[in-house]
Amino acid sequence: MMETVNNEFVIGQVQDFLPQIGRVVLAGNVELAVFRTSDGSIYAVENRNPHPKGGPLAEGIVSGKYLYDPLYDWKIDLRTGEVQAPDQGRVAAYPVTLNGDSVSVSLNGTAVHS
Amino acid sequence: MSLEREKLVLIGNGMAGVGTLEQILKLGGAYDITVIGSEPHPNYNRIMLSYVLEGSKTIEDIILNDLGWYADNHITLHTGTTAVRIDEASRQIVTDNGLNIPFDKIIIATGSNSFILPIPGNTKEGVVGFRDIADCDAMLAAAKQYRTAAVIGGGLLGLEAAKGLVGLGMDVTVVHLLEDLMERQLDHTASSMLKAELERQGVKFAMGKQTVELVGEERVSGLRFSDDTVLPAEFVVMAVGIKPNVQLAKDSGITVNRGIVVDDFMQTSMKNVYSVGECTEHRGVCYGLVAPLFEQGMVLAKHLCGAATQPYEGSVVATKLKISGVDVFSAGEFTETAEHTVISSKDEWKRTYKKILLKNNVIVGAVLFGDITDSAALQKLVKQGAEMTDEIYADVMGGSGCCGGGAKKGVSVAAMADEEIVCGCNGVTKKAIVDAVTENGFTTVDEIKACTGATRSCGGCKPMVEQILQYVLGDSFQESAKQGICSCTTLSRDEIVAEIQAKGLRTTKEVMHVLDWKQPEGCSKCRPAVNYYLGMLYPDTHEDEKESRFVNERMSANIQKDGTFTVVPRMYGGVTTPEDLKRIADVSIKYDVKVVKVTGGQRLDLIGVKKEDVPKVWEELDMPSGYAYAKSLRTVKTCVGSQFCRFGTQDSMGMGALLERKYERLDFPAKFKMAVNGCPRNCAESCTKDIGIVGNDGGWEVFIGGNGGIKPRIADSFCKVKTDEELVEVCSAVMQYYRETGNYLERTSEWVERLGLEQIKSAILDNADNRKELAARIDFALAQVSDPWQKMLKDDKTRTALYERTTV
Digit-coded pLDDT (tens) for B525-551: 999 999 999 999 999 999 999 999 999
Q: Which chain A residue shows the shortest CA-CA distance from B797?
A: A16
Nearest to A63 among B527, B551, B555 (CB): B527
Peptide bond into A86 cis (omega under 30): yes
* Chain B residues touching A25 at Cβ < 8 A: 805-808
**SS3 category, A83:** strand
A 61-80: CB under 8 A from B: 61-64, 68, 70-71, 73, 75
How many Cβ atoms from other residues are within 10 Å of residue B309's Cβ?
Answer: 16
Asked whether residue B371 carries a pLDDT value surpassing 60, the answer given is yes
User: Which of A23, A53, A75 shows the shortest C-beta gap to B806?
Assistant: A23
Tell me the Cα Rg of chain A: 13
Q: Which chain B residues have a beta carbon less than 8 Å from that of A60? A: 524, 551
Q: How far apart are CA B192 and CA B186, in angstroms?
A: 9
Phi, psi of A52 (to 5 degrees): -55, -25
Using a CB-CB cut-off of 8 Å, the residues of chain A touching B561 are 53-55, 71
| C-alpha–C-alpha distance, residues B664 and B671, integer Å | 11
Contact predicate A74/A87, CB 8 Å: yes
Mean pLDDT across B171-183: 92
Q: What pLDDT sits at residue B378?
A: 86
More confident call, B72 vs B372? B72
- Write down the pLDDT at residue B38: 92
Entry pTM? 0.53
Model confidence pLDDT, tens digit, residues B310-344? 889 888 777 777 676 688 888 888 878 888 898 88
Q: What is the mean pLDDT of residues B402-428?
A: 62
Distance from CA of B407 to the nearest CA of A (A): 35
**What pLDDT score was predicted for residue B410?**
44
- The C-alpha atoms of residue B113 and residue B116 are separated, in whole angstroms, by 9
Cα–Cα distance, B684 to B677 (Å, whole number):
6
**A26-51 pLDDT, tens digit each:** 998 899 999 999 999 999 999 999 98
Strands lying side by side in the sheet with A8-13: A4-5, A8-13, A102-106, A96-99
DSSP letter for B603, please. S
Residue A3 has pLDDT above 60, yes or no: no
Determine the distance in angstroms separating the CA of A69 from the nearest CA of chain B, rounded to an integer: 9
Give the bridge partners for B101, in sequence order. Answer: B93
Per-residue pLDDT, averaged over B628-633, amounts to 96
Whole-number pLDDT of residue A111: 44
Mean pLDDT over B348-358 rounds to 88
Out of B520, B548, B563, closest to residue A55 by CB: B563
Instruction: Kindly report, residue by residue over B671-685, the tens digit of the pLDDT.
Output: 999 999 999 999 999
- Partner residue opposite B521 with nearest CB, options A26, A38, A54: A38
* B86 contacts B73 by C-beta, under 8 angstroms: no
Q: Which of B527, B546, B562 sits opposite A55 (nearest CB)?
A: B562
What is the three-class DSSP state of B112? strand
For chain B, the average pLDDT equals 89
Return the closest-CA partner of residue B691 out of B665, B722, B723, B655.
B655
How are beta strands B260-262 and B280-282 bridged, if at all?
Answer: parallel
The CA distance from A80 to the nearest CA of chain B, in Å, is 19
* CB count in 10 Å sphere of residue B267: 16
Distance CA(B52)–CA(B680), nearest Å, equals 28
Contacts with A16 from chain B: Cβ below 8 Å: 801, 806
Q: Which residue of A has its CA nearest to B528?
A: A61
The C-alpha of A40 sits at a distance from chain B's nearest C-alpha, in angstroms, of 14
Q: Which of A57, A63, A75 is the best substitution to test chain B (most B C-beta atoms within 10 A)?
A: A63
Express as a percent the part of chain A with pLDDT over 90: 73
pLDDT of residue B398: 65
pLDDT the model gives residue B20: 93
For chain B, how many helices (H) and strands (E)?
Answer: 28, 37
Please check whether residue A8 touches B, CB under 8 A: no
Contact B151, B237 (CB under 8 A): yes
Residues of A within 8 A of B563 (CB-CB) are: 55-56
CB B330 within 8 A of CB B318: yes
B71: CB partners within 8 A, 6+ apart: none
Count CB pairs under 8 A between chains A and B. Answer: 86
SS3 A42: strand
In tens, the pLDDT along B142-163 reads 988 999 999 999 988 899 899 8
B167 vs B170: CA distance, rounded Å: 7
The Cα of A18 is separated from the nearest Cα of chain B by a number of Å equal to 7
Chain B positions contacting chain A at CB under 8 Å are 509, 519-524, 527-528, 546-548, 550-551, 554-555, 559, 561-563, 611, 798, 801-802, 804-808
**What's the confidence (pLDDT) of residue B406?**
38
Closest-approach residue (CA) in chain A for B549? A61
Reported ipTM: the value is 0.89
A14 chain-B contacts, CB cut-off 8 A: none
Nearest CB to B801; choose among A23, A60, A75: A23
Q: What is the pLDDT of residues B385-411, one digit of tens each?
A: 888 888 888 878 764 433 333 334 444
* pLDDT single digits (tens) B457-514: 666 788 788 888 888 887 666 544 456 888 888 899 999 999 999 888 999 999 999 9
Mark yes or no for CB contact A61/B519 under 8 Å: no
- Residue B107 and residue B16 in contact, taking contact as beta carbons nearer than 8 Å: no
